[in-house]
Amino acid sequence: MGRANRYGGMMDESNHWYGHSRILGRYCEMPDETPKRIQGFLQHGWNYLHGFPPNDHWCSPGYPRFVWSDVLRRRGWSMGRRGHYLIGAPWIYLLHLEPELGVTTKREGTIWYPFHGWEKSSVRGDHDRLAAEIRDVETESVTVCLYWLEFANPDIRQAYESRGFRVICHGERGSRWESKGRDFLRKQLIQLRRHRRVASNRLGSALFYGASVGCEVAVYGDPMQYEDERPEYGGTARRIRLWPELHGVRVDPGLAAEVAGRELGFEYQATPEELRRMFGWKRVRYA
């Protein structure tokens, strides 16, 4: 992972995953050729600890942490972390920029996001069994969206394709210098707005994104586990204890949307001027 240095070098590469820095740069009316270096650490996905991994070395001391919601700021504060700035999720800035992207007059079927691993940790779970459960529960067409690592595994894809599911991938998450992750969230928004339901075997970013654009929500099936899952998160028991109303094959859509608004931090959307100041960006003025 990149870290800031005394000469103003790069910060953390996760700031650029899923096109986050490009979305925020567009919102701030910055040129799009190369995403700007954010002077701090941007929360890159929903989590129910303090917005970042539990290990202390993830964020260099003294640099700002840009988080989505106040509950994460308060959790971080209670664990001795300082320097939090509430800005909401990059997703809310994408919705601001692309209010009509993917909008359709008729939404159909379910888009299903199985819990996934990442480059440094794989997931233990039975995709074949999960696919069978999805087939038993869902009554309309199903699109299964796999993370790129699982999408590259033909056995995992076959578990879902053999049930007649459409299997897609939003792409790799990329980096500051690679273009392959720049449209990740845009692709996700298009798919979510085409589907009536969004479902997963764990609460996660995709469910809150879907709820925020009118999808019904469901959480069911084997939650699967990281091979080295950290105990600080509290596991499935903690997720069910904190959000019992969001688990099940049918979830109250109004309640899901309300929770999504809170977890994604819609009320903390900053102005372009505020973000530029917080990120250390200078606005380019054209002649």
Q: For residue range 30-65, what is the model confidence (pLDDT) as tens digits?
A: 887 666 788 888 998 898 777 776 665 555 666 888
Q: What is the pTM of this model?
A: 0.88
Domain ranges of the chain: 13-98+266-279, 110-264
Least confident of 164-168, 187-191, 198-202, 220-224: 220-224
Q: Report how far residue 208's alpha carbon sits from residue 215's, in angstroms, rounded to the nearest whole number.
A: 9
Q: Report how far residue 243's alpha carbon sits from residue 117's, in angstroms, rounded to the nearest whole number.
A: 23
Q: Report how far residue 65's alpha carbon sits from residue 253's, in angstroms, rounded to the nearest whole number.
A: 31
Contact status, residue 275 vs residue 247, Cβ threshold 8 Å: no
What band does 230 get if pLDDT is binned at 50, 70 and 90? low
Q: Report how far residue 172's alpha carbon sits from residue 176's, in angstroms, rounded to the nearest whole number.
A: 13
Give the residue from 211, 215, 214 showing the smallest Cα distance to 260: 211
What band does 3 get if pLDDT is binned at 50, 70 and 90? very low
Virtual torsion, Cα 28, 97, 147, 139, nearest 10 deg: 160
Q: For residue range 53-108, what is the model confidence (pLDDT) as tens digits?
A: 666 555 566 688 899 999 888 887 877 777 889 999 999 999 999 999 999 999 99
What band does 217 get if pLDDT is binned at 50, 70 and 90? very high
Residue 8 scores a pLDDT above 90: no
Structure tokens at 27: 């919102």
Residue 252 scores a pLDDT above 90: yes
Residue 22 scores a pLDDT above 80: yes
Residues 186, 182, 47, 24: is their CA dihedral positive or negative? negative
Q: Which class would CATH give 110-264?
A: alpha beta
Q: In Å, what is the CA distance from 136 to each residue of 127, 133, 184, 192, 260?
A: 14, 5, 30, 22, 27
